Every structure is written in C-alpha cells, then in structure tokens.
Chain A
Amino acid sequence: MRNIIHLQDVRKAYGRKVILDRVSLDVPEGMVIGLLGKNGAGKTTLLKCLLGLFKVDAGKSLVFGDDSWHLSAGVKASIGYVPQGYRPYPWLQAGWLIEYTASFYPQWNSALTAKLVKDWGLDLGARVDTFSEGELQKLLIILALGHEPKLLVFDEPVASLDPVARREFLKMILDVVSERPCTILFSTHITSDLERVADTVAVLRAGRLDLCGGIDVLKESVKRIRFHCPAGVLPVLGDEGVINSYVSGQQAILTVRDYSDARRVSLEKISGARVEVEDLNLEEIFLEMNR
C-alpha cells in the first residue's frame, strides 16, 4: 500500500524555539491516524508543515508524492482540511459559503453537503458570524468533505462540538472510510474519540514523535508495573523503555514501553519485589507520557 503522507526528519523552528524536531511519519492509504499531544506539542505546526502552509526548515514532507511546499492543483483537490480556530468570511451566508467553496472544486458533491447540512441542522440562510463555535465547526467539516477528498486533515475537529455532534462526527469518519478509500489525519486531545475511530496513534511530545503505532499494539506495549517494596524504595532498573516512574507509599510504580512477559520476569528477578502489571487505556498512556 502506498504512503499518502511521508515525513522524514522534519524540523521546524520559530526563531530559536524548536517546534518540530526530526519528526518522521509514514501514513499509508486508508489509514485513520490520530495525532495526540498536549498544548504546544507541535500538532498544528506539524499539520501545517504537511499541508505546505509552513515551510519545513529541514527534512522532507511529501503528500501524494508531491513536496508539501509545492503541492500541485490536483493534489490540493484531493485534500480536505479543517483548521483550528478558522472563521471564514463572517459576512457570508452559510449557503453562499458552500457555493463559494464548491466553485473551486469541479468534483463537488452537492448531495453529500446537502445531506450533512440537513443531518446537522445548519441554517444555510444564516450569516457565518452568527454561528456558534460548534455550528461553525460543523460547517467547516462539511466544506472539507464536499469535494470528497482522498486525504482529510482535521486540526482539533471535535473540540467545539457537543457530545451528540461529536458522536455524529466520529460516525461520519467511519462512514467516509467505509464508503471509499480515504486517509484521515486528525489531531485531538480527546483520547476516547481517538480510540473509537483511529487505527493508529502518533504521540507528539515537545516537538518529537514519541510513540507511533496501532492503538492495540500500543496498549499491549505500554504497561504500568507496580513493585511492592516494603521499604518503599524504587529499585534501580535502568532507564531503558521507562516512560515514567514514581514512589507512592510502599509501592514503586513504573510505566514502561516495549513490555513483554520476559521483561516482567526479568524485573521481578532484579528487584526482588512482588510485581503487578496493569493495562492502560489510551488516556492513561497519554497522561503517563506527559506527567
């Protein structure tokens, strides 16, 4: 399967502040990938570099084989993007905004946009500046879907949506993927949504891609290990694969990546303590990484 997105050692800095540091990522066709990271981790910058809105300082960024900074019209027509905090032409009516956007895409699917407008209860006669944040987000999503792109990029798409709209959005993503081959990349803070729809998660921390892989693989790989030490002293186990460690009462707690049963046995042997292994959900993994 060919890669729709190819990032290789991408670096981006604003002055002396490094935002992205040697980020590499390959996204094959049809994958739904969630980009996870706390505020300031570089998620938006990564998406903008990918789409050619920012120029990378170093490294390679390709979309459909085109260099991101020089995307061809054909590749642009295959991309749908919902930026964060974007409020397009506030004086336009929503219906006119859809017409306006449609005029740039020959393959615009009016039936799809009409259906989404109806499902989400948007008033096409209302001006954009009268829309709430949630309504605006829905409108932007519709605009991004109208030309049936092969790559959808969402920057915090559900942050402003109510729970019902969030569910509908996630269902829409699943529908889109099931109906036609479409690659989806979205950044979010909401890990439960990510678990619901994404195949793969990429975790950005301080501009670096800390973890990347299938969600199930990630859950299998990252575990929390409790050492029951009577003295409450953390055993010396080395830093390899350790995401986080702390002492709580008479327990020493380690969160590790690349967990395996063999490693558990080895840890028990080294520490001499009773060891318990806990599964973590995605949110817990994310919290552990950013603790």
Chain B
Amino acid sequence: MTNIMGALLLYRNRLQLLLLAAGLLFILPFGHMAVRHQQWILFEDLMTIWFCLWIPLAFQLGVMIKRQMVSPMAGLMPGYRAAHIVVAVVIWVFVAVLISLWLSTVPCGVGARVKSAWVFLCLGMYLATIVIAYVSERRTLFFGYGILLFIVGHTRDFVHLLVKSDPAYYALMGLAVCVFGCFLWRLAVLREGMPEFGCVLSWPLHRSKTSAPVRAYIPHPVPLFAQKKGLMRRAFHWAHVEAEDIPGIAWILVLSPFVFAAYIFYWAGPEGFYAHPYANLLVLTVSPLAVMLCFCYRTVSFRDYALLRPLRRQDLAVQWGCFLMVILMAAWIFTSFLFGVLPALVWHMRFLEASKFWAFLLFTGIFTQMTLVCLMYVASLKNQGMAVAIILVYGGYKLLEALGAPYYDLAAIVWHLGLAVGVCACLAAMTYRRWCHEEV
C-alpha cells in the first residue's frame, strides 16, 4: 500500500464522511433526471439538499485534515504531510470541482450557476474552518453559518449578481482556490511550537491535549468549574473562560459589524422585511440557536462533572433542559432585537405597530425552541448529532417552505405554534427519559 492509499484509508473508515458523501452522490442522478425532464423546481430542491449535505461534509473534511496535521506523527513520519495533503486536494477536486463543472453544464443556466457558486461558498466555509486557525472551530461555524444563512435567504439577489457578472462568479471560485492554496501551505509547515497550533483544534478538550504552549497560558477551566455552585453560574463561567480567547473576540468584533451592516443594508431596501419571510425565519431561528450552541458548548462538554453533584439525575435533567431553553430564549431575544426590532426602529417604524410583525417574531421564537428540542433529542440518541441535526433543521425549513407556510396569517401562526408546542412537549419528554438513563 502506498502512503497516499494509506492516507485515503482514513477517509474510507470515517462513517460520517462516507454517509455525507454517499448522500451527495446519491442526489446527482436524480438531479440529472430532473434536468432531462425539465423539472426545474425539483432540480432546485435537490440542489438545496445537496447544498445542505455539503455544509457538514465540508466542515468534517476541514476538521479531519486539521486533526491529521496536529498529530505528532505529522512531523516524524516520512512523507506524511505530502500524502495527506494530496489526498485532501484529490477529494476537494473530486467533490467540489468535478461536481461543480457538471452543474455548470446543466442547461438551466441560472439555478445551476448559483448552486455551483454555493458549493464554492461552502468550500469557503470549509476553508475558514481550517485556514483561520486563530478562530475556534465553533466560532467559525457560527459565523460561517450566519453568513451563509444570509446569502441563502437572499438568493435572488445573489443570482442576479452572479448571472449579470461572470467576473464575480469566477472571482469567487478563484478566491476559494487561492485560500485553499494558502491553507495547504500553512498545513505543510505547521508544527506544535507555532502560535496557531494551539488554536487549530480549539475545542477545549482537544486544545488541552494538543497544545503545550497554549496550555501554559490558559488555566485549565475544570478546577474553577467545580467551584461554581449553580448551573447558571457554571454556564456563565464558561463565557468568562471564553473571554480569555482574545483573538477569537477580535475576530467577532471584526466580523459582526459587517454581517449586521450587510443585513441592515438589505433590510432597508425596497422589498422590506416581509419580502423574504423564509430568509428572516432562518436568520431569526438558526442564529440564536448557533449562539446558544456556542455559548453552552463547554458546559455540555463537562456534563459528567455536573452529574457528580449531590442532585438526583432527574432533577439535573430538568435543570439542563431549562438552562438550555433559557439561554436559547436570551439568544433569540438578542437576535430578534438586532435583526428585527432595531432595523424597524431605524427604517420602518410602522412595522412596530403591525401585529403580524410581533406574531412573526413570536413564531420564530417558538420554532427556535422546537429546533432546540429536536437537537437535544438527536444529541441524546447519539453524541455525534451535529451533522444529523443540521440536516434535520434544514429539512424542517425546507418542509415549511414547501408547504408554503403563511407566516402572516395569524390563524396559521396560531396553528403552527400549537403544532410546534406539541412537538416540543413530546420530544422534550423523550429526551428527558433518555437523559435519565444516559451513560456519560
């Protein structure tokens, strides 16, 4: 076996990657059939699912190559880096370039071009996950996700931009290739002594294992965690620990105004808030969820410590559930204010008097909670629920979109709220039972 085949072996045995890749490839023949029969709506939907699968795949690939390069063996096994980088490039070329080329041959023009551009955007996120070592993976995920949601929600404008401008389309692809090249170069020279090494795998448990230089500066949070008494105080303890991640905060400060400014700029445009309810639903539900997940990640990581507290398991499960819900509601209020109320205050004061406006915000809050409960349920089934959860969440949105959910009709909103609350209650009860018997 050659070393390249050896490196390829790592991907072959990674179940999540295989499932996601199989999903991507499975959709292609259906897409082809849809094109042949000129079923453009079906084609668009298939491509959206394809896009949704690509996000977790890109993320997993990014994490995978990073893990390979932080291994101590990367510096000691002859030909290790070259072989792994070659394999990563081959996979990228196969998945991204070939499939994008196929998409660009589809004679439907606009849709295919845009979808292939999406592929490159996802690739951008994949690259951001791995290139920008100073940002933790989850922060990158959060920001990448936020930006992508914004773009997905404003597809029509994006379509027009790309269709009208070939240079923009090719510039996007060229940029992705350039960034990918830079990323490969950094990986090829990455060593443990380098400043970015400690942040390459910045989820706390990985970081504590992989980066001695960073470990020397960051106090291990667990002893401090154990001193905190209440669940909420413990949760905020992690926020405090996170605040020590100065480069990460700097990154937030740099990015946030741009995202917000872009959103506000669009929102203030002629079509207004109600023109793209689907987009607003995404922004107002997934963004708070992402904030909540980022905020609670460490707390969730150390659940086993919490289980040692003198408390019944059932009570702890209830506390966990309530805590996650409260954090999510806080995040939802924050994003609703930032993306809903604040722009309305500045540009469209009349919206604040419309009951539909508040009903829509309420709807997003309930839907967010429902999504959280779905996530918690999936996570309780299996610890590696992130990829599945993302697909579920997107699937839910896609379903709502397909059903043409009338967000402005108060009766429909009430009906959806009732449905969401019912689903929430059932899933929460099932999750609670699973938590009570969970082995940690």
Are B3 and A83 touching (Cβ within 8 A)?
Answer: no
Q: Is the CB of A91 within 8 A of B217?
A: no
Task: For A105, give its contact among B15, B78, B213 (CB under 8 Å).
Answer: B78
Assembly CA distance A51 to B78 (angstroms): 13
Q: Mark A95-117, 1 if CB is under 8 A from B, else 0.
A: 01001111111000000000000
Query: For chain B residues 235-265, which have a beta carbon within 8 Å of chain A?
Result: none
Query: Hey, which chain B residues are within 8 Å of A81, CB to CB?
Result: 72-73, 76
Q: Is the CB of A85 within 8 A of B192?
A: no
Give the number of residues in A that approach B within 8 Å (Cβ atoms): 34
B13 close to A104 (CB less than 8 A): no
Q: In the complex, A81 Cα to B75 Cα: how many Å?
A: 11
Taking a contact as CB atoms under 8 Å apart, the answer to whether B9 and A76 are in contact is: no
* Residues of A contacting B1 in the complex (Cβ-Cβ under 8 angstroms): 99, 102-103
Contact A53 B216 (CB under 8 A): no
Given the complex, which residues of A lie within 8 Å of B83, measured CB to CB? 104
Hey, which chain A residues are within 8 Å of B77, CB to CB?
A: 76, 101, 104-105
Chain A window 21-55, contacts with chain B (Cβ cutoff 8 Å), 1 for yes, 0 for no? 00000000000000000000000110010011111
The answer to whether A48 and B3 touch (CB under 8 A), given A76-B76, A76-B78, A93-B13, is: no
Chain B's closest residue to A74 (CB) is: B78
A225 CB within 8 Å of chain B: no
Instruction: Knowing A53-B75, A104-B83, say if A89 contacts B193 (CB, 8 Å).
Output: no
Contact of A53 among B10, B14, B80, B192 (CB under 8 A): B192
B61-96 contacts to A (CB < 8 Å): 71-73, 75-80, 83
Contacts of B5 in A (CB 8 A): 103
**CB neighbours of B217 from chain A (8 A):** 14-15
A91-B13 in contact (CB<8A):
yes
Using known A-B contacts A96-B13, A100-B10, determine if residue A88 contacts B71 with beta carbons closer than 8 Å: yes
- The answer to whether B14 touches A103, judged by C-beta atoms less than 8 angstroms apart, is no
Nearest Cβ on chain A to B235's Cβ, whole angstroms? 29
Q: Is the CB of B9 within 8 A of A100?
A: yes
Residues of A within 8 A of B6 (CB): 99-104
- Return chain B residues, CB-CB under 8 Å to A71: 75-76
Is B416 interfacial (CB 8 A cutoff)?
A: no
Closest CB in chain A relative to B426 CB, distance in Å: 33
A103 with B3: in contact, given A48-B192, A55-B191 (CB under 8 Å)?
A: yes
Cross-chain contact A45 with B212 (CB below 8 angstroms): yes
Does B383 touch A at the CB level, under 8 Å? no
* Contacts known (A53-B191, A76-B76, A104-B77); A99 close to B13, Cβ less than 8 A: no
CB-CB contacts of A51-94 with B at 8 A, as 1s and 0s? Answer: 11111000000000000000101101101010101101101110
- Say how far A57's CB is from chain B's closest CB, in angstroms: 9
Task: Answer whether residue A17 sits at the interface, using C-beta atoms and an 8 A cutoff.
Answer: yes
Chain B residue at minimum C-beta to C-beta distance from A14? B216
A85-B209, A103-B3, A104-B3 known; A51+B76 contact, CB < 8 A: yes
Q: In this assembly, does B227 line the interface, its C-beta being within 8 Å of a C-beta of chain A?
A: no
| Complex Cα spacing A1 to B7, Å | 38
Q: Judging by beta carbons under 8 Å apart, are B13 and A53 in contact?
A: no
A103-B2 contact, Cβ under 8 Å, with A73-B78, A73-B79:
yes
B9-47 vs A, CB cutoff 8 Å, 1 = contact: the mask equals 110011100000000000000000000000000000000
Are A91 and B14 closer than 8 Å at their CB atoms? Answer: yes
Query: Size of chain B's interface in residues, with CB distance under 8 A?
Result: 29
- B82-118 contact mask (Cβ, 8 Å, vs A): 1 or 0: 0100000000000000000000000000000000000
* Beta-carbon contact of A54 and B192 below 8 Å: yes
Contact A53 B72 (CB under 8 A): yes
Complex CA distance for A100 and B1, rounded to whole angstroms? 8
Residues of B within 8 A of A51 (CB): 75-76
How many angstroms from the CA of A17 to the CA of B77 in the assembled complex?
30
Report how far A219 CA is from B102 CA in the complex, Å: 74
Give CA–CA (A48, B76) in the complex, Å.
11
- A85, B76: Cα distance in complex, Å: 17
Interfacial chain A residues near B209, Cβ < 8 Å: 85
Q: Cβ of A48: which chain B residues have Cβ within 8 Å of it?
A: 72, 192, 212
Beyond A76-B78, A100-B10, is A15–B216 a contact (Cβ under 8 Å)?
A: yes
B9 in contact with A96 (CB, 8 Å): yes
Query: Quick check: A86 and B72 within 8 Å, CB to CB?
Result: yes
- Which residues of B lie under 8 Å from residue A92 when comparing CB positions? 9-10, 13
Over the window 166-202 of chain B, the binary record of Cβ atoms lying under 8 Å from chain A Cβ atoms (1 yes, 0 no) is 0000000000000000000000000111000000000
- Chain A hits for B14, CB < 8 A: 91
Q: Which residues of A contact B216 (CB under 8 A)?
A: 14-15, 17
CA distance A17 to B217 in the complex (A): 9
* Chain A residues within an 8 Å CB radius of B78: 73-74, 76-77, 104-105
By beta carbon, the residue of chain A nearest B5 is: A103
* Shortest distance from the beta carbon of A16 to any chain B beta carbon, whole Å: 10
Within the assembled complex, what's the spacing in Å between the Cα atoms of A217 and B422? 79
Q: Which residues of A contact B13 (CB under 8 A)?
A: 89, 91-93, 96
Nearest to B6 among chain A residues (CB) is A103
**Closest A residue by C-beta to B83:** A104
Q: How far is the CA of A7 from the CA of B334 in the complex (A)?
A: 57
Produce 1/0 per residue, B254-288, CB < 8 A to A: 00000000000000000000000000000000000
Q: Give residues in A with beta carbon < 8 Å to B.
A: 14-15, 17, 44-45, 48, 51-55, 71, 73-74, 76-77, 79, 81, 83, 85-86, 88-89, 91-93, 96, 99-105
Binding site for A on B (CB under 8 A): 1-3, 5-7, 9-10, 13-15, 71-73, 75-80, 83, 191-193, 209, 212-213, 216-217
Write 11 A-B pairs (CB below 8 A) sorted by A numbering.
A53-B191, A73-B79, A76-B76, A76-B77, A83-B72, A89-B10, A91-B13, A93-B13, A99-B9, A103-B9, A104-B6
The 6 closest A-B pairs by CB, nearest first: A103-B6, A14-B216, A73-B78, A54-B193, A55-B193, A103-B1
Add 15 more A-B contacts to A92-B13, A103-B5, A104-B83 (CB < 8 A).
Answer: A15-B217, A45-B212, A53-B72, A54-B191, A55-B191, A55-B193, A76-B78, A81-B76, A86-B72, A88-B71, A91-B15, A92-B10, A100-B9, A104-B79, A104-B80
